[in-house]
Amino acid sequence: MKGLFAVLMVIGLCEPLQAARLVVAGGAITEIVYALGGGDDLVAVDATSRWPMAARKLPNIGYVRALSAEGIAALRPDHVLLSHDAGPDHAVAKLSRLAPVTRLTAVTEPAALPELVREVASLINRKERGEKLAASLEFSIEQLKGDVNGAAKPRVLFLLSAGSHGVMVAGHGTPAQSMLDWLALENAAADIEGYKPLSREAALMLEPDVLIVAETQLNSFQIANHSELSHTEAVRHGRVLIADAGWLLGLGPRLPEALQAVIAVASVGESH
């Protein structure tokens, strides 16, 4: 048995690979699969898997936290890869009895992303490509650590524009906080736990020097609709970044680009 396993592992390192039917729930995982050249194996993804554009053409299994075991099993997957927050738990438990399922490690800070890449690469038999991507990400992410010019670090207000759920302030214990920590930036809402609705009082009280908005729907956030923000230092001095939530907060292979964008807006007006 051990000999057979070793042979299968060697075969798995060779490309092109034999086609597999892969279902993924988790935007960052989908991005990693594509980055490793495994896009052709995907037969369905969840609603958070919006990048690359090819992922949007695949059958959609719904929201990552509201999965249907029967619906996924009907796709006859050879393997189902789930993000750490996939659910509900009873659906995941049932799905595990119907198909091979792996729940992947949570990425709670930028430094953890390369390990997730290696984990996915191992599961889809692309270890060599995975190691190259992981090494590249490790270098880029480490180079960007704390890389904001200026002695005084600006206060950053990070918002999540969540469509029908409204605009939320990103506090402690969020991906936004982990990004700001990595860049040695101050989260203006660090005293808030998780995500909380944005109120006029909070916007004025938090006094941000920088405003970053992650949109779940393109162009859903307009500063003109939030007059309380127009009086902040961030808006007055043009230190505002509005971008796709999957890119900004997804903690996937595009993370170095997102970190660079945050650095750029936080450095506006600083001497270089």
Same domain, yes or no: 110 and 182? no
Phi, psi dihedral angles at 31 (to 5 degrees): -60, -40
Q: Please check whether residue 9 lies inside any domain of the structure.
A: no
Same domain, yes or no: 137 and 91? yes
Q: Please check whether residue 58 lies inside any domain of the structure.
A: yes
Q: Please check whether residue 234 lies inside any domain of the structure.
A: yes
Last residue within a domain, chosen from 142, 167, 185:
142
Structure tokens at 108: 């709670």
Which residues on adjacent β-strands are paired with residue 81? 24, 102
Q: Which residues contact 177 (CB under 8 A, 6 or more apart)?
A: 158, 170, 171, 187, 190
- The Cα 158–Cα 169 span in angstroms is 6
What is the pTM assigned to this prediction? 0.88
- The Cα 66–Cα 75 span in angstroms is 17
Task: State the pLDDT at residue 270.
Answer: 60
Contact 156, 174 (CB under 8 A): no
Task: State the pLDDT at residue 269.
Answer: 63
- The Cα 1–Cα 204 span in angstroms is 65
Locate all alpha helices (DSSP H) within the chain, ordered by sequence: 2-12, 27-35, 69-73, 89-98, 113-123, 127-143, 175-182, 200-206, 227-230, 233-236, 245-249, 255-266
In CATH, what number is assigned to the domain containing residue 34? 3.40.50.1980
CA 7 remoteness from chain centre = 35
Contact 241, 123 (CB under 8 A): no
Query: What is the tally of structural domains in the chain?
Result: 2
**HSE value, Cβ hemisphere, 13 Å, CA-based, for 240:** 15
Same domain, yes or no: 130 and 29? yes
Handedness of CA 22, 26, 27, 32 (dihedral sign): negative
Domain that includes residue 185, residue range: 155-266
Q: Please check whether residue 8 lies inside any domain of the structure.
A: no
Same domain, yes or no: 115 and 189? no
State the DSSP string of 179-190. Answer: HHHHTT-EETTT
Last residue within a domain, chosen from 97, 119, 142:
142
Task: State the pLDDT at residue 13.
Answer: 37
Average pLDDT per 10 consecutive residues for the chain, totaling 272 residues: 37 46 98 98 97 98 97 98 97 97 95 98 98 98 84 88 90 96 96 93 89 93 90 93 96 97 87 43
Which residues on adjacent β-strands are paired with residue 186? 155
Q: ∠50-55-61 over CA atoms, to 5°?
A: 80
Q: Please check whether residue 209 lies inside any domain of the structure.
A: yes
Last residue within a domain, chosen from 109, 142, 175:
142
Handedness of CA 234, 238, 244, 248 (dihedral sign): negative
DSSP 247: H
Q: Please check whether residue 50 lies inside any domain of the structure.
A: yes
Same domain, yes or no: 203 and 253? yes
Q: Please check whether residue 150 lies inside any domain of the structure.
A: no
Instruction: Give the burial class of 116: count Cβ atoms within 10 A of its Cβ; 0-12 exposed, 13-18 middle, 19 or more buried.
Output: buried
Q: Please check whether residue 133 lies inside any domain of the structure.
A: yes
